């Protein structure tokens, strides 16, 4: 049964009385209104307040198809119509993205109590989407390096095509590079939704604010967590259940956590971090270092280090999980 959500009608069928739907709907409306009133929220009739997760899912699917048309595009696509498909798909995806950007800008303005004209918001949204679209060719080239790194870094991989089609770490980094671009362009809510789509699909949680260099490879991937202010260099490889997290969370005088402070690790070029390692705080893992499995690390290590559980106890005798 399909119900038109834009049309007010009596509930169809005789089951409404069985479930007391009239009463439940009224009580849910009352709960929503109480929540909105407590937070000073008011909406114009018919106005959607927030971007749509479903819309973003469709946009990302189409962008993946446009970036890799013969592998992530439709099954019936042929090479002679590839450019047409890419152009048509990008046009649809970017127009839909424009609507979602406008929703976020409107929402942000309401949250901040700003008064911004619709024309100004539309122009700002168009600029954001135009810059995002212009970044796609460069993003594709970086992703090619990521995919090659995955192929070279996993002896079980038989081809770069297998890596692109099958590896959750590659799916996560595609989402991340799209999300990071949106994040830098000033639409962090859209970026976070894209990141959480990848998190749901892969079990890999990368905040869109994390700055990740090319040639990045997450092997297996389940349980990986990379925080907002993490900085990762070139050709870094990490394994499942690795955490690049924060050690402490400074608070304001009123107890609220301070936002945006650098609090996650810096991982320099050519570092390998093995499964289960936990690296916390604004520390630096020097270039070319290897961090062994299940290591708990809260202090910087110099370039070329090889840290295992045994060596970390010798280097940092006071360091222990908290």
- For the segment 9-29, what is each residue's pLDDT rounded down to a tens digit? 555 555 656 788 889 999 999
In a domain, 3, yes or no: no
Q: Are residues 100 and 174 in the same domain?
A: yes
Q: Are residues 239 and 182 in the same domain?
A: no
Per-residue pLDDT of 190-200, as tens digits, reads 999 999 999 99
Q: Are residues 64 and 194 in the same domain?
A: yes
312 has pLDDT over 90 = no
Give the pair of three-digit tokens for residue 47.
């106005």
Tell me the CA distances in angstroms from 268 to 17, 68, 246, one per residue in order. Answer: 64, 29, 17
Q: What is the pLDDT of residue 46?
A: 58
2 has pLDDT over 90 = no
Closest CA to 85 of 94, 96, 74, 95: 74
279 forms beta bridges with: 244, 297
Coil, strand or helix: which one is 150?
Answer: helix
pLDDT band at 3 (very low <50, low <70, confident <90, very high): low
Give the pair of three-digit tokens for residue 91.
């046009």
Of 139, 171, 203, the domain-final residue: 203
What number of other Cβ atoms are within 10 A of residue 276's Cβ?
16
Q: Are residues 192 and 92 in the same domain?
A: yes
Q: What is the pLDDT of residue 47?
A: 66
Cα-based angle 308, 225, 241 (whole degrees, multiple of 5): 45
Q: Are residues 149 and 255 in the same domain?
A: no
Per-residue pLDDT of 28-58, as tens digits, reads 999 999 988 887 776 555 567 899 999 999 9
β-bridge pairing 211-212 and 290-291: unpaired
Closest CA to 216 of 156, 172, 165: 172
Q: What is the pLDDT of residue 9?
A: 53
Residue with more model confidence, 315 or 293: 293
The CATH number given to whatever domain includes residue 119 is: 1.10.3130.10
163 has pLDDT over 50 = yes
In a domain, 26, yes or no: no
Taking a C-beta distance cutoff of 8 angstroms, is the pair 204, 198 a contact? Answer: yes
How confident is the prediction for the chain on average, in pLDDT?
Answer: 91
Domain count, the chain: 2
The residue-averaged pLDDT of 244-257 equals 85
Q: What is the pLDDT of residue 317?
A: 64
Residue given tokens 């700002």 in the structure block:
124
In a domain, 298, yes or no: yes
Q: Are residues 56 and 189 in the same domain?
A: yes
The CATH number given to whatever domain includes residue 294 is: 2.160.10.10
Give the pair of three-digit tokens for residue 13.
């069928």
pTM for this predicted structure: 0.88
In a domain, 77, yes or no: yes
Per-residue pLDDT of 69-109, as tens digits, reads 999 999 999 999 999 999 999 999 999 999 999 999 999 99
**Domain of 134, in residue numbers:** 49-203
Give the pair of three-digit tokens for residue 130.
């135009």
């Amino acid at each position: 049964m399909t119900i038109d959500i834009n049309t007010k009608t009596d509930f169809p069928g005789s089951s409404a009385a069985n479930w007391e739907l009239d009463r439940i709907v009224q009580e849910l409306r009352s709960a929503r209104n109480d929540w909105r009133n407590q937070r000073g929220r008011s909406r114009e009739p018919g106005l959607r307040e927030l971007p749509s997760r479903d819309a973003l899912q469709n946009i990302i699917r189409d962008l993946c198809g446009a970036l890799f048309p013969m592998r992530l595009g439709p099954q019936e696509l042929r090479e002679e119509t590839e450019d047409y498909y890419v152009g048509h798909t990008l046009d649809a995806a970017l127009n839909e993205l424009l609507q979602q950007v406008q929703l976020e800008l409107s929402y942000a303005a309401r949250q901040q109590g700003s008064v911004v004209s619709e024309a100004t918001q539309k122009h700002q949204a168009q600029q954001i989407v135009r810059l995002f679209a212009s970044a796609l060719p460069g993003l594709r080239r970086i992703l090619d390096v990521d995919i090659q790194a995955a192929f070279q870094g996993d002896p079980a991989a038989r081809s770069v095509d297998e890596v692109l089609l099958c590896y959750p770490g590659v799916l996560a980094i595609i989402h991340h590079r799209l999300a990071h671009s949106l994040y830098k362009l000033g639409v962090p809510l859209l970026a976070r939704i894209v990141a959480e789509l990848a998190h749901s699909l892969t079990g890999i949680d990368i905040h869109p604010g994390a700055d990740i260099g090319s040639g990045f490879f997450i092997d297996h991937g389940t349980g990986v967590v990379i925080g907002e202010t993490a900085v990762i260099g070139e050709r870094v490889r990490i394994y499942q259940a690795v955490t690049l997290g924060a050690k402490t969370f400074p608070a304001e005088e009123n107890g609220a956590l301070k936002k945006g402070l650098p609090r996650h690790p810096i991982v320099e070029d050519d570092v390998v971090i093995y499964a289960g390692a936990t690296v916390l705080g604004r520390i630096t893992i020097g270039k070319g270092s290897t961090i062994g499995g299940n290591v708990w690390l809260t202090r910087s290590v110099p370039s070329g280090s090889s840290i295992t559980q045994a060596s970390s106890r010798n280097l940092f005798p006071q360091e222990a999980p908290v």
